[in-house]
Amino acid sequence: MTIQGFVASHAKDAEFERGLRSFYEYRDLGIKKATEGRVDAHVIRAAAGKDFSSQPHLHKTEFQLVYVLKGWIEFEYEGQGVVRLEAGSCVHQPPGIRHRELGHSDDIEMLEIVLPAGFATEEVASVNG
């Protein structure tokens, strides 16, 4: 039996920091460190007082899942059109799919699981090519 990589993250200890997008705050769940960068998991929420702005982009990932915990968010996805996710909704974003956020509620909270942890984001001209 191994205990290497075990991690438990509790809400009472939650700390949110600015990250990839300035209009969001991110709570690291400790998965990146526990998996030595193979996987990352964090809770994302809207940052109070920050204006929303999203450009078409893609992520160079192997796997990306977003699960909405609270509120709503709308994305436009390459080949899929507009997708609205509400609390309890889940989306798998295939590697390299072009997308952009169209908007979200002030109380949005999402769980995102992605691998690898150190993925790159690339802005693109449009969602559809």
Strand partners, 66: 91, 112
pLDDT value at position 110?
97
Q: 126 near 56, Cβ under 8 Å?
A: yes
Q: Has residue 104 been placed in a domain? A: yes
Of 2, 19, 5, 8, the C-alpha closest to 110 is 19
Share of the chain above pLDDT 90, in %: 72
Q: Has residue 92 been placed in a domain? A: yes
CATH number for the domain harbouring residue 59:
2.60.120.10
Would you call the peptide bond into 95 cis, given omega within 30 degrees of 0 as the criterion? no
pLDDT value at position 14?
83
pLDDT in tens, 25-75: 999 999 999 999 999 999 999 988 777 778 999 999 999 999 999 999 999
Share of the chain above pLDDT 70, in %: 96
Q: Has residue 16 been placed in a domain? A: no
pLDDT in tens, 84-116: 999 999 999 999 999 999 999 999 999 999 999
Tokens standing for residue 28? 């690291």
